[in-house]
Structure 1
Amino acid sequence: MNILSLKIPALRDRREDIVPLAYHILVQLSRTWNINYEEFKQRINNETWKQLLTYSWPGNIPELANVLSRIVLLEDNSAVLNQLKSTLHL
């Protein structure tokens, strides 16, 4: 039974939502892993934000959540950024 159908544009078409979604995901991750949210936020520098905003997110929000998880777990986001650059979908 389909009571309500919602059509939500892809994340690549809603770039203005990336930063608020990322912060929301970081809050959830900090609670899940019991790590300070401010510490998580500091692991994402300006270059990382640029990459996150220019990537096309073919996997939408679940892919964003996975990338943010890797960034905060690895503490060195260069490997994650290099992977995004190598698979850049514009």
Structure 2
Amino acid sequence: MDIKAILAQVIQPYAGEMLNGHAYLTVSPAQDIFTIVSVAKFKSERVTHLSLHVRVDRDHIIIEYDDSNEPLVDALVHAGVPRSQIILAYAGEPVPESI
């Protein structure tokens, strides 16, 4: 199972047009860090917001931050990633020292 490829596919719908702005997917050159950053206009101000920060280390997906309406963990499990390979660091799940 190529978890980087699965993550890249599953995270894609979190990007796109949104109310008063756009959510952008950014991916590191090694395809091991993924973020969703939103830029919107609120009243007369431009606002930016990080809604997802995810990284891949070996065979684990570490979700460092998830402020989305639909938790990424649910989408990943639905796509076939075993829950045991997903670490919710933002929720206090321990990240092993070796990762």
Structure with more strand by fraction = 2
Normalization by structure 2: what TM-score? 0.32
Structure with more helix by fraction = 1
1 or 2 for the larger relative contact order (CA 8 Å, sep ≥6)? Answer: 1
